[in-house]
């Protein structure tokens, strides 16, 4: 969960988020090299008193500064395309969950189990306990088994919302009249917090998401109790 002192990305809780962090570091390292090189050349031009009489005609240097940016873009584009395909790829999901955005709460339907539907409202500040996170905890958490492929179907009942859990690397728009889908996998147990990332009205900041990742055995017990 993000806190006020966080300066870096959240700890990854899924293989997808791990790859996103790797790509983030990869792109930043290339940008750092480019910024350092360009800054050095600018300082050299600023403080150098010598004049190159061949500066206006240099085919070799023109070929070099044309090819180097092209190669740099290739080194950035290839991991980016691989990551895009990884995000869209869905392989044999264990369960499917449908999330519907409302003003201002989320409702969930476990499509593989009969009559398993519930609404998820934020717990008001005056009703929170010591173990609750203010403005982040909900009365009904979304429970999923870890190390299992989950397919999430997202839509909205009124206006555009966005179902987002940063530590999983998941952000998907909930659009009225349209069904979007994404796949994710949690690689450890825990509570993962998110919020609506689309400005959807007056109480936009008060429709959090809480995903509870538990073992498959406990998930089966939870399903049996809920049904």
Note the Cα 223 to chain centre separation in Å: 27
pTM of the model: 0.77
Strands 150-156 and 95-102: parallel
Measured CA distances, 37 to 34, 42, 137 (Å): 5, 9, 47
Architecture of the CATH domain 95-226: Sandwich (2.60)
Mean pLDDT of all residues in 169-177? 90
15-88 adopts what CATH topology? Helix Hairpins (1.10.287)
User: Percentages helix, strand, coil for the chain, rounded to the nearest 5?
Assistant: 35, 25, 35
Tell me whether strands 208-214 and 142-145 are parallel, antiparallel or unpaired: parallel
Q: Is 95-226 the same fold as 15-88?
A: no
What is the residue-wise DSSP string for 4-41?
TT--SPPPP-SHHHHHHHHHHHHHHHHHHHHHHHHHHH
Calpha distance 20→60 (Å, rounded): 37
Q: How high is the pLDDT of residue 50?
A: 76
For the segment 91-116, the average pLDDT, to the nearest whole number, is 88
Looking at residue 101, what is its pLDDT?
Answer: 93
Domain boundaries, given as residue ranges, for the chain: 15-88, 95-226
């Amino acid at each position: 969960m993000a806190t006020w002192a966080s300066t870096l990305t959240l700890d990854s809780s899924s293989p997808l988020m791990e790859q996103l962090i790797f790509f983030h570091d990869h792109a930043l390292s290339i940008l750092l090299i480019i910024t350092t090189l360009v800054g050095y050349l600018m300082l050299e031009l600023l403080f150098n008193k010598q004049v190159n009489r061949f500066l206006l005609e240099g085919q070799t240097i023109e070929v070099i500064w044309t090819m180097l940016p092209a190669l740099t873009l290739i080194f950035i584009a290839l991991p980016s395309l691989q990551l895009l395909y990884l995000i869209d790829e869905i392989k044999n999901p264990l369960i499917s969950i449908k999330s519907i955005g409302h003003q201002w709460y989320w409702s969930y339907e476990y499509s593989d189990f009969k009559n398993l539907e519930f609404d998820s409202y934020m717990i008001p500040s005056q009703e929170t306990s010591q173990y609750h996170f203010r403005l982040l905890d909900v009365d009904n958490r979304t429970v999923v088994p870890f190390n299992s492929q989950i397919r999430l179907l997202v839509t909205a009942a009124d206006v555009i919302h966005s179902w987002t859990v940063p530590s999983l690397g998941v952000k998907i728009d909930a659009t009225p009249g349209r069904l979007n889908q994404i796949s994710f996998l949690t690689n450890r147990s825990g509570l993962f917090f998110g919020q609506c990332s689309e400005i959807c009205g007056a109480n936009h900041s008060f429709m959090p998401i809480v995903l509870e990742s538990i073992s498959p055995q406990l998930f089966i017990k939870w399903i049996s109790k809920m049904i």
